[in-house]
């Protein structure tokens, strides 16, 4: 069995080491390791976020970026001129300044119950950050956490398919569910979800059309 208790060591495309420590610490609270298994930090979601920030997405390459800039109603959506790179950079720096001012330490060095409180305040927009609303920073961090936890491992997160194993998602679909979709009382579960990375690295057999061959866990009582 591969060791899924720890994310692999990373080198960073965009994040500073201090920023990576902040994100690691936040991920460990957002989707914690617990009795159900490893969480977002162990799934290497920090690596996912780093790669996303270094991509075109990180510099808002597909967003409308022309002015004039002005605030609108909530229904009109995001009107911030900050790119995701700028949101993370400012959000982390300014949250750490807040933590140092109120609690005497950076976020990642605080006890977990205080970290939980800080994340809740960010989420509720209750921490005054200088450059942006704390809610916007939190929402982006949380959305990226969910993405990195459930996206194919080829993007750097969902290490060892931790997210997929948690919910029972089989990954890349097998060739044919046509005969199975009507078997309503038969949960379809696989011994190991299949990722694109698994297929490209030759760990999983595929058929002529390129669909993976799942190894199913036979439901109790099912015919062999």
Partner 1 sequence: MTVTKLKPVDAVVVGVGVAGSIICQELAAAGLSVVGLERGRMVDPAQDFAMPYAHDEFRHDSRSNLIQNLSRETITFRNAMSETALPMREIGSFRMGECVGGAGVLWGGLSWRFLPWDFETHSRTVERYGKKHMPEDCTNQDWGITYDELEPYYDQFEHIYGVSGKAGNLNGEIQTGGNPFEGARSREYPNPPTQATHAGHLFGQAAASLGFTPFSPPTSGSTREYTNLYKLMLGQCQRGGFCSSFTCAMGAKGSPLTAVLPAAMKRSNFELRALCNVIKVNLDSDGKRAVGVTYIDARGRTVEQPADIVIITSYTFNNTRLLLLSGIGKPYDPVSNTGVVGRNYSYQATGSVKLFFEDKTFNSFMGGGGSCTAIDDYNGDNYDHSGMGFIGGGYIVVNSRGAAPINNHPVPSGTASWGSGWKKAVAHYYDRSFAISSHGGCQSYRTNYLDLDPTYKDANGLPLIRMSFDWREPDLKMSAYVTKKAAEIAKALNPSKMSSNPVSGKYNIVPYQVNHNTGGVIMGSDPSTSVLNKYLQSWDVPNVFVIGASAFPQNSANAPTETVGALACWVADAIKEQYVKRPGLLV
Binding site for partner 1 (CB under 8 A): 29-32, 34, 36, 39, 57, 60-66, 68, 70, 72-79, 116, 119, 123, 142, 145-147, 150-152, 154-155, 163-164, 166-178, 180-182, 184, 186-188, 194, 196, 199-200, 206, 209-212
Among 157, 162, 135, 127, residue whose Cα is nearest residue 2: 162
Of 36 and 215, which has the nearer Cβ to partner 1? 36
Find where tokens 């979601």 sit: 45
Question: What are the C-alpha distances in Å from 89 to residues 94, 177, 206, 221?
Answer: 9, 45, 42, 54
Contact 76, 40 (CB under 8 A): no
Shortest reach from residue 18's CB to partner 1, in Å: 23
Of 33 and 100, which has the nearer Cβ to partner 1? 33
Contact 129, 99 (CB under 8 A): no
Contact 31, 149 (CB under 8 A): yes
Of 74 and 104, which has the nearer Cβ to partner 1? 74
Shortest reach from residue 203's CB to partner 1, in Å: 12
Beta strands in 8-93 (DSSP E): none
| Distance in angstroms (rounded) separating the CA atoms of residues 134 and 123 | 7
Of 80 and 100, which has the nearer Cβ to partner 1? 80
Shortest reach from residue 186's CB to partner 1, in Å: 8
Of 64 and 101, which has the nearer Cβ to partner 1? 64
Shortest reach from residue 35's CB to partner 1, in Å: 9
Shortest reach from residue 56's CB to partner 1, in Å: 9
The two tokens of residue 108 are 């990642």
């Amino acid at each position: 069995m591969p060791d899924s208790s720890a994310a692999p060591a990373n080198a960073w495309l965009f994040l500073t080491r201090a920023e990576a420590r902040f994100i690691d610490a936040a991920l460990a609270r957002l989707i914690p390791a617990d009795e159900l298994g490893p969480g977002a930090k162990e799934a290497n979601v920090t690596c996912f976020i780093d790669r996303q920030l270094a991509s075109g997405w990180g510099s808002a390459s597909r967003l409308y970026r022309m002015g004039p800039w002005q605030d609108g109603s909530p229904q009109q959506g995001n009107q911030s001129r900050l790119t995701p790179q700028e949101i993370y950079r400012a959000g982390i720096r300014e949250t750490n300044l807040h933590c140092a001012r109120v609690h005497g330490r950076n976020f990642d060095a605080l006890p977990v119950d205080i970290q939980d409180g800080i994340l809740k305040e960010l989420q509720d927009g209750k921490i005054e950050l200088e450059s942006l609303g704390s809610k916007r920073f939190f929402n982006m961090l949380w959305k990226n956490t969910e993405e990195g936890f459930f996206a194919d491992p080829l993007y750097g997160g969902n290490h060892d398919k931790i997210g997929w194993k948690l919910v029972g998602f089989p990954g890349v679909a097998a060739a044919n569910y046509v005969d199975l979709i009507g078997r309503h009382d038969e949960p379809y579960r696989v011994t190991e979800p299949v990722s694109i990375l698994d297929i490209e690295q030759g760990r999983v057999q595929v058929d002529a059309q390129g669909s993976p061959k799942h190894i199913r866990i036979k439901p109790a009582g099912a015919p062999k």
